[in-house]
Amino acid sequence: MRIGAIFFVTVFTIKLQFVLTDFYSSIFTLTKLSENESALVTALQRFITVQETEGQSVDGFLKEFLLTTEKIVKNAKPIHSPIDAFHLLKRWVDDWQKCFDIALCSECTIDEPEIEFNLSRSIIENLLGGWPQQSDLDATVDAIFRLWDVYEFDLRDFLRGKIFKYQTEPLTPLEVIYIANKAEDAKNSYNSIKFLEALLYEIEDGALPDSHVGTTQLVRMIASAYNRNNMPWKSVELLKERTKKEPENKRLQNDLKYFESRAKSIVENVTVLEKPNTNIIMLMPSTRIFYEEDMIRKYKALCRKNLKSQKALSKLFCFYKTTAIPIFLVKAELANIKPYIYLFHDVISENEIDFLRNTSSEMLTRSTVLQDTQKGTMAEAENRISRTAWLSDIQYPKLEKITSRVKLITGLETEYKERFSNTEMYQVLNYGVGGMYRPHLDAMYEAAGKSSGADTIESGDRIATVMFYLSDVMYGGATVFPKVNARVQVKKGSAAFWYNMHHNGDVDTRMWHAGCPVLVGSKWEFVPRDCSDFPQGSLSGVYTIYPKDTKFDVYCDMETAGFGWLVFQRRINGTVDFFRGWSDYKDGFGNLKSEFWLGNKFIHLLTSTAKYKLYVHLEDFDGNSRYAEYSKFSIGDAVSNYILNIEGYSGDAGDSLMYPGDQNHNGMMFSTIDRDNDRYIYNCASWFKGAWWYNSCYTANLNGEYLGGHYSTYGNGITWWTWKGLQYSLKSTKLLIK
């Protein structure tokens, strides 16, 4: 007899959220918006330049917006908080749209510049699969309110761009008023008034000295909001204080008289400003989903901190769990007793995490919840804001090792089959900042086997859940269990595990759990660290990467030596002068699409974050090419003068970087015409017209002069001694790392 039971495996990630129909629901798509904004800036620059060249006037808004946005794009960082998301979407939904409206106004003559500018939008819109809409911006504002409700952060700090210890760009007064107005539109006077009052305090304290919003204007707005909430007596208090400072202001006097008369008319029914009750009781009999008010209150409290008593915490411990393989022990942490909830540490590798993120990133769709247990129908819902992708180890054999590992750890059968499967496919979830999953049970009751495909029909209910965490998160994102007062904090590489059912097959109703909204950071954030992080099949070209919370453009080569190489030097035609000083080589120069040096500070940043190898590609003027590969490559920081560290040569060009003797480049500091760090009595960079990790002096000089093949002088060309000697300047070179 076949036991009707199914094993549920989920892989948790988190992010801001934005994709196609709703950009707000995925950081992957938010990142795409951020990356493509530079293309919009370039298009606007070109449009303004052409207009001015042709003697046409340019709208002042376009010039001012371009000036501001150029700085934002140049210094852009990954989207980590709801403030970051709001700033980005506000520009796309309002400001960029206004730019296109100005350029293509109905009364304007549409010439080539306007057509080209509009074409740039069409190209980007097609690339993104859509354009952010007002609904995306509204959803981000809702996320701000939701996060404030759950985490109770200081509102004045929030306006300054500070969320606990995280700091980003502050909100402008006009942005705060925009947020407050959205709250008012949603009949949420409490949030509207609190945001406006926080802004008023900031302006009065001089925190926003350049504010274009006056205190009188704000006081009148707050007074009107209190009046709409049937609290005119509060309006009177505010205006009395303000009229003392501005006794000649007739508008204030008139407002005060009106609110005083209103206060007298409702004196018997004084209203108090109350925070809206978001601990809503939901009862949905068709789905067996219900929220008790106490459960929601407990859920929010657990999102903020652990609520277990010291006595309860003292009974929890860590241990090594044995498996069917005696030498394979698992680091386990007991998160709760009765029922047992475990957190298994270091059970998924970095490579496996990268594979799951990269494979699922383009497959994510809006997550759904069970709508009807009898029919097994699923639907989008506001109590679950995330995106989901489903992966099986039949489709992706790389997942088989994870599947086997889960079986070893849990002792449960985990084989996935296309019919009568013991487990569902891997469900990769991508939550965003403000994204969450309200309290729910994983067990599906009568809907078991109806809401999914043929793989789990008649397979029974979900008896257990394994939840992998694919990244750490700065603030928020915990998995909480309100019924049993348990909290599991996100830890990259770990997996939470619990049973959804009792031994007798009944659903364990103690296992209500929820995904807390991410306040700062992201659980799995597909932010490429280098060229190898982009999806297979990506073409060579310029990409934006985000190593160590920084952002810069690089050229990714997907062909010369295989997929995923990052180019930090390229010579092809001599159009760029490489005989430069220390500052240029530190910051980088040239054109990423032609000849360039990426910059020593960026090369150090990359090679200090992970293990890299180096690939040197060389070509002469007869069409011959050679290569040299080094298994380890890094350079030090500025204090070390970007000292070179390499080892492990292979290739057919000869080893000109580690040639034995006093010209070995390994362990050498970088030298330029104005910074002599070599071991020679003279400055090698000056002598040989280049910049390099010179010793006394060199056997490789790939930043030398572009001399076009054979030359009569000694050693000042683009040379690789072990292939062409010191009197042949190469046609092209590329230095790539991965």
Same domain, 556 and 483: no
Residue 526 lies in a domain: no
Q: Is residue 283 part of a domain?
A: no
Note whether 565 and 730 are within 8 A (CB).
Answer: no
Residue 525 has pLDDT above 50, yes or no: no
Position 1 scores a pLDDT of 23
Are 273 and 317 found together in one domain?
Answer: no
Residue 55: inside a domain: yes
Q: Where are the alpha helices (DSSP H) in 91-206?
A: 96-103, 112-128, 134-151, 155-159, 173-185, 189-204
Cα–Cα distance for residue pair 349/355, rounded to 1 Å = 10
Task: Give the percent of the chain with pLDDT over 90.
Answer: 45
Q: Which candidate, 371, 387, 379, 369, places its Cα nearest to that of 427?
A: 387
Is the sign of the CA dihedral 677, 678, 684, 685 positive or negative?
Answer: negative
Mean pLDDT of the chain: 83
- The reply to whether 589 and 676 lie within a common domain is yes
Distance, CA of 441 to CA of 288 (rounded, Å): 10
Q: Which domain holds residue 81?
A: 21-134
Highest mean pLDDT: which of 272-276, 311-315, 448-452, 492-496?
311-315
pLDDT of 128 higher than 90:
no
pLDDT of the residue at 432: 62
- pLDDT in the model for residue 305: 92
State mean pLDDT over 229-244: 89
**Is the domain of 386 the same as that of 514?**
yes
| Residue 711: Cβ-neighbour burial (10 angstroms; 0-12, 13-18, 19+) | middle
pLDDT of 722 reads 95
In a domain, residue 644? The reply is: yes
Residues 666 and 715 placed together within one structural domain of the fold: yes
Among 230, 250, 278, where does a domain finish? 278
Q: What are phi and psi of 646, to 5 degrees?
A: -140, 160
Amino acid at 390: W
Task: Write down the pLDDT at residue 568.
Answer: 98
Give yes or no for residue 368 having a pLDDT over 60: no
Considering the domain architecture, whether residues 511 and 631 belong to the same structural domain is answered as no
Identify whether 435 is part of a domain: yes
Q: Report yes or no on 471 lying in a domain.
A: yes
- Give the residue from 520, 554, 572 where a domain finishes: 520
Q: Which of 40, 240, 256, 22 is nearest to 143 (CA)?
A: 22
* Rounded distance between C-alpha atoms, residue 267 and residue 248, angstroms: 29
Most confident of the ranges 6-15, 355-364, 425-434 = 355-364
Domain match, 516 and 660 both = no
pLDDT band at 295 (very low <50, low <70, confident <90, very high): confident
Number of domains in the chain: 4
pLDDT classification of 601: cutoffs 50, 70, 90:
very high
Q: Are residues 251 and 348 in the same domain?
A: no
Indicate the residue among 251, 278, 305 that finishes a domain. 278
Same domain for 358 and 498, yes or no, is: yes
Residue 652 placed within a domain: yes
Q: Is residue 676 part of a domain?
A: yes
Same domain, 469 and 584: no
Does 436 lie in the same domain as 391? Answer: yes
**If you ran DSSP here, which 8-state letter would residue 560 be given?**
S
**What is residue 196's DSSP assignment?**
H
Q: Are residues 163 and 121 in the same domain?
A: no
